[in-house]
Amino acid sequence: MSSINERQWRQKRQAGNRMSLSLEEIRTLAEISRFLYSFLPGKAHPFAEQKISFAGIARELGLERFWQGRSKQPAINALLENTLGLRRERFCPLILEIVRRGIRYRGSKGNPITREDIQKLNELIFEVGFKIPELWEESFLTSLPRESKEQVETSRKIIPERLKELRDIFLSLENVPREHKGFEFEHFLNQLFDLFGLQPRRSFRLQGEQIDGSLDFENQTYLVEAKFQVKPVGQEDLLVFRGKVEGKATWSRGIFISVSGFTQEGLAAFSRGRPTNLIAMSGQDLYFVVDGQMPLDEVIRLKARHAAETGEVMTPVQQLLLDSQ
């Protein structure tokens, strides 16, 4: 067998042994790769300590063939995907080494990894089916600095830039194949919620039902239902979601997000003679946020107050602004 044929045979065998990654895993790994971007350099400077880099860690853990080099972000993403798919048992050691060396690297740059950073990373890792005990230990988390006012201010400064990116993503969802629209819309919403510090949790399944996610706003937990479809949402879907929310803790609330909006008949019938624990947002409301016209947290605050005062679950943000003037 020639060396070329042998190499091709090994590649085919390797592909055959690869564990197929789900769309959810692929999307979450992409988010993890973006999150880890600042933890380490891709490749260390020739005069620097070589192991303090993504390339150095990959080499030490026997994952060097998964580090593609060149552009840093795609290289991190490929490293994570290939490790999870081909060397699943090395995924947690890889993440743990990135954190260990990232603490040292970021600390030397005056931008230390914070408790909030690790808590966010733990949530993302949990979404692909792992929990790394060392990163959950309270003694470790307590040893890390908390997010400083300067870091909060820096985050606020990047919101306009990130909003532009999210606006482009939101507008591009129309071109996504129908079978992937729901997944991509949910991913967009989680990025938006995260940008405004709402601590989103991705979709989770309970016995007999599916919840699209949840968020935390002003010490209130909101369950989320999200639909990206041509047909406006009617009373039936609103009633089903209200049942899901009412079946949880008494303090739970709900946000129903429908890009195509809601039928007037459905909203009227839903609100007639019944108290509500829901607020609703349309595609126009979302565009209002990603276009930078009003922060998402303020939109939720206005809608929640209006629902408490009137029992109406859905009033456009523009109308709420006019009413408040």
Per-residue pLDDT at 287? 92
Give the largest CA-CA distance in the chain: 80
pLDDT of 223 over the 80 cut: yes
**49 vs 249, more confident:** 49
Helical (H) or strand (E) element with 76: helix 72-86
| 60-65, Cβ contacts within 8 angstroms, sequence gap of 24 or more | 60/97, 61/90, 61/93, 61/94, 61/97, 62/87, 62/90, 63/87, 63/90, 63/94
Contacts of residue 85, Cβ cutoff 8 Å, sequence gap at least 6: 18, 19, 20, 21
Contacts of residue 151, Cβ cutoff 8 Å, sequence gap at least 6: 114
Asked whether 245 and 254 are in contact (CB, 8 A), the reply is: yes
Q: Across-strand partners of 221?
A: 216
Closest CA to 245 of 236, 254, 237: 254
Q: What is the pTM of this model?
A: 0.55
Confidence band, pLDDT 50/70/90 cuts, at residue 9: very low
Confidence band, pLDDT 50/70/90 cuts, at residue 111: confident
How many other CB atoms sit within 10 Å of the CB of residue 66? 20
Confidence band, pLDDT 50/70/90 cuts, at residue 211: low
**81 vs 218, more confident:** 81
Percent of the chain with pLDDT over 90: 36
Confidence band, pLDDT 50/70/90 cuts, at residue 7: very low
pLDDT of 149 over the 80 cut: no
pLDDT of 147 over the 90 cut: no
Asked whether 122 and 136 are in contact (CB, 8 A), the reply is: yes
CA distance 165 to 203: 23
Find the mean pLDDT for residues 164-177: 89
pLDDT of 61 over the 80 cut: yes
pLDDT of 143 over the 90 cut: yes
pLDDT of 19 over the 70 cut: no
Q: Which two tokens stand for residue 48?
A: 């620097």
Asked whether 73 and 35 are in contact (CB, 8 A), the reply is: no
pLDDT of 201 over the 90 cut: no
Using the Cα atoms of residue 145, residue 201, residue 95 and residue 75 in order, give the sign of their dihedral.
negative
Which domains are seen in the chain, by residue range? 3-147 (no CATH), 156-324 (3.40.1350.10)
**230 vs 324, more confident:** 230
Closest CA to 102 of 155, 39, 158: 39
Classified as helix, coil or strand, 215 is strand
Percent of the chain with pLDDT over 70: 85
**182 vs 212, more confident:** 182
Q: Which two tokens stand for residue 243?
A: 């049942």
pLDDT tens string 67-105? 987 678 888 999 999 999 999 999 999 999 999 999 999
Per-residue pLDDT at 160? 75
Closest CA to 136 of 118, 117, 112, 162: 118
**44 vs 9, more confident:** 44
Torsions phi, psi of 54, nearest 5?
-65, -40
pLDDT of 197 over the 70 cut: yes
SS3 letters across 90-119: HHHHHHHHHHHHHHHHHHHCCCCCCHHHHH
pLDDT of 16 over the 70 cut: no
Q: Across-strand partners of 227?
A: 258
Gap between the terminal Cα atoms of the chain: 80
